């Protein structure tokens, strides 16, 4: 059975109680519109400021039921394996006890499994296909679809798409509060759930990697999401207002800047996840640039990777979106297979993150 939002939070609390030496319970400060709070569980043997971190985020989209369960399950697996001195096996992908010990000693995993609890509760009890959070409808707009904001369009990255993208760019977001899927919100980072994610990144500057787990394509997406990548013109980037009327078009010779080194790093990190996922049951997730699906605005992955460009003193965060599985609400038996895939991918990612990112890996 899928976890409900109460069960997710109690699972996090229980893991902290059972493993006080290897976890830290973190409560982001902003309550949701319906008054819920959410928790982050840091897993690692070293303090938050003593090791580099990975943020594993889930549940931004309410109807995608597998990612929160996957992140809770993986946190429990890692802690139990570490405490018992055992390895972990997910189908055909296996990790030794020594690898699990190394993982917990060298990185901190920040599990934020259920970033949108109001939306998940609504999806699990009222409207299965609900995607947004539960911001009340604006005054005078009463329809049920006028409730809520698409949290993965609310982050501070080219948020104002009508000003920042070409009119014919097909950017997937909306300024209409009654858009049932992709309303961007009344202001940038207007939502408490969005600000909680930002708070985690602000509060823990040693987080260097951001993995936002969604469903379902399946694919692993790397930067950028707003336009096709290019590595030749550094001035052609998201901060450049000269591109505001042309941004997002396909094959127009104008793209979002990423250095060849960063692109190579991002692809290799994504490939590491891909290979471990493939090992589970030979299911072949794609690896592609986020723009490959369609141009996006205000997404968490682009926001995370953009932070160091906006504030050069900020940590450079390599950022990814996993679109896991092929169904948003598969039978729980199939969900368990997808949970194995996500778990294998994230463990392999965590084990390879330093070597690949810092260039010590051949
Ligand atoms: Zn999603």
Report in angstroms the alpha-carbon separations of 101 from 17, 72, 98, 210: 20, 19, 5, 22
Q: Which pLDDT score, from 0 to 100, does residue 142 have?
A: 83
What mean pLDDT do residues 191-200 have? Answer: 98
CA of 60 to the centre of ligand 1 (A): 7
Average pLDDT of the segment spanning 146-174: 97
Span 286-305, pLDDT tens digits: 999 999 989 999 999 999 99
pLDDT at residue 362, rounded to an integer? 46
More confident residue, 359 or 207: 207
Centre of ligand 1 to C-alpha 86, Å, is 33
Residue 359: the pLDDT is: 81
Location of structure tokens 């794609």: 286
358 pLDDT more than 70: yes
pTM confidence score: 0.98
Q: How far is the CA of 151 from the centre of ligand 1 (A)?
A: 9
pLDDT at residue 202, rounded to an integer = 98
CA of 332 to the centre of ligand 1 (A): 19
Residue 65 CA, ligand 1 centroid: distance in Å: 10
Percent of the chain with pLDDT over 70: 99
Superfamily of segment(s) 5-358: Zn peptidases (3.40.630.10)
Handedness of CA 353, 303, 68, 42 (dihedral sign): positive
**61 Cα–ligand 1 center, Å:** 5
Query: How far separated are the first and last CA of the chain, in Å rounded?
Result: 42
Cα-to-centroid distance, 248 and ligand 1 (Å)? 20
| Distance between Cα 226 and ligand 1 center (Å) | 16
Q: What is the CA(234)–ligand 1 centre distance, in A?
A: 30
Task: Tell me the C-alpha distance between 240 and 276, whole Å.
Answer: 38
Residue 361's pLDDT band (boundaries 50, 70, 90)?
low
Ligand 1: distance of its center to the CA of 55 in Å? 16
pLDDT confidence of residue 293:
81
> How close is the Cα of 132 to the center of ligand 1, in Å?
10
- pLDDT tens digits, one per residue of 100-142: 999 999 999 999 999 999 999 999 999 999 999 999 999 999 8
How many angstroms does the Cα of residue 175 sit away from the middle of ligand 1?
A: 18
Cα(67) to centroid(ligand 1), Å: 9
Q: Tell me which residue of 361, 260, 345 sits closest to 90, measured CA to CA.
A: 345
Q: Which of 242, 246, 254 lies closest to 171 in space, CA to CA?
A: 246
Return the pLDDT at 360: 67
Mean pLDDT of the chain: 97
Q: Write out the two tokens for 335.
A: 């969900």
What is the SS3 assignment for 209?
Answer: strand
Asked if the model's pLDDT at residue 38 lies above 80, the reply is yes
Contact predicate 311/259, CB 8 Å = no
pLDDT digit string, tens, across residues 222-246: 999 999 999 999 999 999 999 999 9
């Amino acid at each position: 059975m899928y976890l409900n939002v109460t069960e997710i939070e109690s699972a996090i609390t229980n893991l902290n109680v059972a493993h006080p030496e290897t976890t830290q319970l973190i409560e982001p400060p902003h309550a949701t519109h319906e008054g819920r709070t959410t928790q982050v569980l840091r897993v690692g043997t070293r303090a938050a400021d003593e090791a580099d971190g990975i943020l594993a985020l889930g549940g931004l989209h309410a109807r995608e039921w597998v990612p929160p369960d996957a992140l809770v399950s993986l946190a429990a697996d890692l802690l139990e394996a570490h405490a018992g001195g055992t390895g972990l096996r997910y189908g055909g992908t296996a990790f030794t006890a020594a690898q699990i010990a190394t993982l917990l000693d060298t990185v901190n995993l920040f599990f934020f499994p259920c970033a949108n609890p109001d939306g998940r509760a609504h999806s699990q009890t009222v409207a299965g296909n609900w995607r947004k959070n539960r911001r009340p409808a604006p005054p005078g707009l009463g329809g049920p679809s006028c409730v809520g904001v698409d949290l993965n369009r609310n982050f501070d990255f080219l948020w104002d798409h009508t000003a920042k993208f070409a009119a014919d760019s097909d950017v997937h977001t909306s300024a209409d509060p009654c858009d049932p899927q992709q309303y961007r919100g009344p202001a940038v980072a207007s939502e408490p759930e969005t600000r909680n994610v930002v708070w985690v990144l602000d509060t823990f500057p040693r987080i260097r990697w951001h993995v936002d787990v969604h469903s379902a394509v399946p694919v692993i997406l790397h930067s950028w999401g707003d336009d096709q990548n290019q590595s030749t013109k550094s001035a052609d980037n998201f901060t450049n207002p000269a591109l505001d009327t042309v941004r997002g078009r396909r094959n127009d010779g104008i793209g979002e800047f990423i250095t060849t080194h960063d692109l190579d790093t991002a692809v290799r990190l994504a490939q590491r996840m891909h290979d471990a996922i493939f090992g589970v049951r030979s299911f072949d997730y794609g690896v592609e640039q986020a723009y490959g699906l369609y141009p996006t605005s205000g997404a968490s992955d682009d926001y995370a990777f953009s932070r160091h460009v906006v504030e050069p003193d900020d940590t450079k965060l390599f950022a990814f979106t996993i679109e896991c599985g092929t169904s948003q609400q598969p039978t729980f038996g199939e969900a368990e297979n997808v949970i194995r895939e996500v778990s294998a991918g994230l463990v392999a990612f965590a084990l390879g993150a330093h070597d690949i990112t810092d260039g010590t890996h051949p």
